[in-house]
């Protein structure tokens, strides 16, 4: 399998800089972009507010309408976008390296289909139930995602301790199709209003309403990112080949397990928060690789930061393109992502 000829885009000199320099530049650049996007995105909306007024300390918060709109009405949605974007982009990087396949996405292995089936089941059968302040839908989607990941993991390790990437891919694709069939079956049995709610969930929605749902998934996201931090140099070698990795001191079976569990956990958390927003996990890593090269020690943190900025920007688009109507953000990312994916495919030959 060939890959992007990234050197053409960047020029050789940028890629021969020591990795610590490239890492600092990438984190600085994409970090600044992410922060700027998150500060500017809440300014866009039906009521115009000023950033200067928002941060004007002389006005008490209770009287500062701009600050209230900024922090209470709009910030949760922006943060949900940032968390979801960062998590899906990083999970995409990890899955692509682990599967040695640049076209893999966080949803390739069936995690999102499992989450959708879980959410769907909850929407149809258990809307009245709530666990504490949380609705049952995210919990059910988390459970569905976990179930899908567990089945795929079990199948891939059935014959050998080291995972077979072929079995992983085939099992994932099959599970995706199977769960999608179950989702259609459930839809067929249900009344129109619930089908509409379920469809809306599957399109992805960052309008989480408050900080509560974000705080609920944050521990899962934090655990996943702590695991991601241990992976990049092993992922570099794993993407060269599992024997090559083992011969250079990588514990292949352990790295694959860590990669699979962390990326599945991240995907499950993101999907339970915002629904299965597609294509972030493939567009963002590829754009980042065009800019910073393919070393995972740079690509992983850079993709997380750019993923945050990218999804927040897409969400601004979803709120403004047909305003006052809202286009589901999953539709925006798919409209951008579909052609991008095909372009990648053709370009790679």
Partner 1 sequence: MLRGTELSYGYASDRGDGRSFSLREVSVDVPRGSLTGLLGPNGCGKTTLLRLLAGILTPRHGSVALNGRPLASLSRREIARHIAVIPQETHPAFDYTVMEMVLMGRHPHLGPLQLEGPADLALAREALSATGTEHLAARAYMTLSGGEKQRVIIASALTQASEVLLLDEPTASLDLGYQLEVATLLTRLNRERSVTMLLATHDLNLAAALCDRLVLMREGRVLAQGPTNDVLTAPMVRQLYGVVADVRYHEGAGHLTVIPVSRER
Q: Which residues would be at the binding site for partner 1 (CB under 8 A)?
A: 1-7, 12-13, 15-16, 18-20, 23, 96-97, 100-102, 159-160, 229-230, 233-234, 236-237, 239-241, 243-244, 246-251, 289, 293-295, 297
Nearest to 242 by CA among 109, 99, 91, 96: 99
Q: In sequence order, which residues have a C-beta less than 8 Å from that of residue 289 and are 6 or more positions away? A: 4, 6, 299
> What interhelical angle do 165-189 and 192-203 show, nearest 10?
150
Least Å distance, CB 185 to partner 1, is 37
Query: Which of 210/251 has CB closer to partner 1?
Result: 251
In the beta sheet, which residues pair with residue 135?
Answer: 130
Least Å distance, CB 104 to partner 1, is 10
Query: In whole angstroms, what is the distance from residue 81 CA to residue 205 CA?
Result: 9
Least Å distance, CB 135 to partner 1, is 38
Least Å distance, CB 304 to partner 1, is 16
Nearest to 230 by CA among 259, 210, 268: 259
- Alpha helices (runs of H) in the chain, residue ranges in sequence order: 6-10, 12-16, 19-40, 51-54, 65-68, 75-98, 111-125, 136-156, 165-189, 192-203, 212-229, 232-238, 242-247, 252-274, 280-292, 296-320, 329-348
Query: In whole angstroms, what is the distance from residue 344 CA to residue 134 CA?
Result: 39
Query: In whole angstroms, what is the distance from residue 238 CA to residue 254 CA?
Result: 11
Query: Which of 142/252 has CB closer to partner 1?
Result: 252
Least Å distance, CB 51 to partner 1, is 37
Query: Which of 56/160 has CB closer to partner 1?
Result: 160
Instruction: Sort 112 into a burial class: Cβ within 10 Å, 0-12 / 13-18 / 19+.
Output: buried
Query: Which of 12/52 has CB closer to partner 1?
Result: 12
Asked if 277 contacts 91 with a C-beta cutoff of 8 angstroms, the reply is no
Query: In whole angstroms, what is the distance from residue 217 CA to residue 209 CA?
Result: 15
Least Å distance, CB 311 to partner 1, is 23
Give the torsion sign (CA, 145, 286, 102, 12): negative
Query: Which of 2/48 has CB closer to partner 1?
Result: 2
CA-CA distances (angstroms) from residue 22 to 201, 231, 303, 313, 324?
39, 18, 14, 25, 42
Least Å distance, CB 158 to partner 1, is 10
Query: Which of 150/230 has CB closer to partner 1?
Result: 230
Query: Which of 303/318 has CB closer to partner 1?
Result: 303
Query: Which of 141/236 has CB closer to partner 1?
Result: 236
Query: Which of 30/228 has CB closer to partner 1?
Result: 228
Asked if 323 contacts 46 with a C-beta cutoff of 8 angstroms, the reply is yes
């Amino acid at each position: 399998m060939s890959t992007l000829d990234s050197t053409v885009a960047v020029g050789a000199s940028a890629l021969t800089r020591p990795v610590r320099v490239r890492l600092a530049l990438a984190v600085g650049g994409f970090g600044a972009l992410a922060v700027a996007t998150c500060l500017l995105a809440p300014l866009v909306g039906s009521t115009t507010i000023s950033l200067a007024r928002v941060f004007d300390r002389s006005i008490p918060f209770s009287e500062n309408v701009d600050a209230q709109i900024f922090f209470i009405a709009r910030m949760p949605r922006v943060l949900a976008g940032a968390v979801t974007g960062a998590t899906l982009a990083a999970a995409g990087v990890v899955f692509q390296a682990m599967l040695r396949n640049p076209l893999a996405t966080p949803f390739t292995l069936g995690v999102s289909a499992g989450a959708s089936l879980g959410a769907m089941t909850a929407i149809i059968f258990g809307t009245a139930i709530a666990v504490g302040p949380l609705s049952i839908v995210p919990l059910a989607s988390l459970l569905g995602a976990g179930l899908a990941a567990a089945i795929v993991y079990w199948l891939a390790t059935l014959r050998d301790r080291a995972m077979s990437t072929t079995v992983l891919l085939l099992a994932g694709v099959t599970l995706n199709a199977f769960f999608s069939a179950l989702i259609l079956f459930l839809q067929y049995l249900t009344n129109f209003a619930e089908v509409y709610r379920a469809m809306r969930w599957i399109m992805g929605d960052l309008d989480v309403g408050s900080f509560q749902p974000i705080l609920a998934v944050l521990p899962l996201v934090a655990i996943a990112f702590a695991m991601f931090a241990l992976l990049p140099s092993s992922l570099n070698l794993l993407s060269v080949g599992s024997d090559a990795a083992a011969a250079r001191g990588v514990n292949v079976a352990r790295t694959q397990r860590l990669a699979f569990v962390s990326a599945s956990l991240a995907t499950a958390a993101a999907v339970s928060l915002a629904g299965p927003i597609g294509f972030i996990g493939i567009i963002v890593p590829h754009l980042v690789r065009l800019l910073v090269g393919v070393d995972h020690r740079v690509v992983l943190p850079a993709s997380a930061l750019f993923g945050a900025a990218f999804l927040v920007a897409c969400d601004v688009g979803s709120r403004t393109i047909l305003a006052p109507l809202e286009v589901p953000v999953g539709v925006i990312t798919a409209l951008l992502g579909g052609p991008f994916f095909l372009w990648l495919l053709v370009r790679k030959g």
